Structures are given as C-alpha cells and as structure tokens.
Amino acid sequence: MDVFQSMRFFVCVAQSGSFTAAAQLLDTTTTNVSKTITALETRLHTRLINRTTRRLALTEAGMRYLKRCEKIIDDVRDADEEAGTAQTLPVGRLKIHTMSAIGNHYLIDAIARYREIHPTVMFDLTLTNRIPDLLEEGYDMSIVLARDLPDCGFVAQRLGTTYSVLCASPAYLEKHGTPDSPPHSANTIACASSTQ
C-alpha cells in the first residue's frame, strides 16, 4: 500500500465530501477511491469515515487524521517546491578559498554586492596564499593566481589575466645596472570548483 497516496485520497474525500467528487479530482474511479479508503482504515485498525447512502462524515479519529495528513501533504509540496527552485533561487552556504590579494582587491566587494541581491546566500571565505585540497577541506570553489592549473578533473574557469610590473629604485639600478628587457610573464586568475 502506498501510504502517501492513501493519505492524498483520504484528504480529497474529506475535503470534497464524496467519493465521486474525489474520484473526479484525482482522475480515477469511485471504486478505486472507495477501495483505497477501506484499505487505509484496515491498515490503521480504525474507521475514518462514516458512510451512508446520502452522505459521509468523518469520525473523531478521521478528523484528527485529516489534520495530520493535510500537514504532511503541505510539507511534501513545500519540499518539492523548494527543491524545484534550488536552481533558480540561490540559497545556502558557499565555502570559498582565494589568495589574499585577490580576496582583498576583488572578492570581498563582489560578495557584498552579491549578498545585496541574494541575502539568503551565506559565504564562508578563507584568504590564504596556499592552494588547498578542495575535496578534503570541503571547499566549493577556489580562486587562485597561477600560470597553469593541475589536471585534477575539477571544473575550471579562467576569470582573467594579470601582469607583473617590474619596478626598481634608482639606487638598485645604479648598483646592479638597468636590464634591457625584463622577461615577460603573465598569470591567469582561475576559479576551480569541486562541483562536477
């Protein structure tokens, strides 16, 4: 016996006031509704509905059971809706690692702006210059500055490119000389996520 389905049938009969009306709402037969309610009462070892040829009336046990069933059905509906909107309505906690310079210059402000739009999202931000083990340390994502990312199977996204600026004091140049052409190097800002 499908207990949840039986609850739905019972609630529909109680709210509509008849087996026939419930059958129409549930897109099934009156016989099927009647059999389901009888099986439910047998399982519970109690009568939920007093039946006559003209009308139905809930028993005391039936009224108490109806309240519980309505709450359960509402809870299941709410759970379905919440799960269904998870992809469109951001909610929950996001654990992020980033390097200190990136976090201080870019990420903290970006998180503040994001939270203004989506206040139901909480952030757990770690600023450190080491690259963590995302899975072992439970991070959802890591934003790092690196020339190359290791081949790890994570989802990775290039966010941008930064360039180093070579500076020297006049005293240093006087002592060591001025280089003709410093080596060109660029680092990639990348975001690696543990979500496949």
Considering only CA atoms, which of 107, 109, 137 is closest in space to residue 125?
107
Domain boundary among 44, 68, 84: 84
**Interval 177-196: pLDDT, tens:** 888 776 655 555 555 565 54
User: Which two tokens mark 41?
Assistant: 């009462």
In a shared domain, residues 76 and 109 = no
Residues 63 and 110 in one domain: no
Both 74 and 101 in one domain: the answer is no
Domain count, the chain: 2
Together in a domain, 79 and 108:
no
Residues 31 and 116 in one domain: no
- Whole-angstrom Cα distance, residue 133 to residue 85? 30
Whether residues 183 and 122 share a domain: the answer is: yes
Domain co-membership, 71 together with 100 = no
Q: Give the model's pLDDT for residue 192.
A: 59
Task: Provide block-wise average pLDDT over 10 residues at a time, the chain (196 residues).
Answer: 92 94 95 95 95 88 96 92 72 89 89 91 91 85 77 76 80 86 60 55
Question: Is there a single domain that holds both residue 144 and residue 62?
Answer: no
The pLDDT, as a whole number, for residue 196 is 45
User: How is residue 50 written in tokens?
Assistant: 């007093």
d(CA 99, CA 66): 56
In the beta sheet, which residues pair with residue 56?
A: 51
What pLDDT sits at residue 113? 93
- Structure-block tokens of residue 78: 């709410």
Q: What is the pLDDT of residue 165?
A: 77
**What was the pLDDT predicted at 159?**
83
* SS (HEC) of 115-177: HHHCCCEEEEEEECCCCCCHHHHCCCEEEEEECCCCCCCCEEEEEEEEECCCCCCHHHHHHHC
CATH number of the domain to which 153 belongs: 3.40.190.10
> What pLDDT sits at residue 162?
77
- Structural domain including 55 reads 3-84
Q: What angle do CA 32, 37, 40 make, to 5 degrees?
A: 125
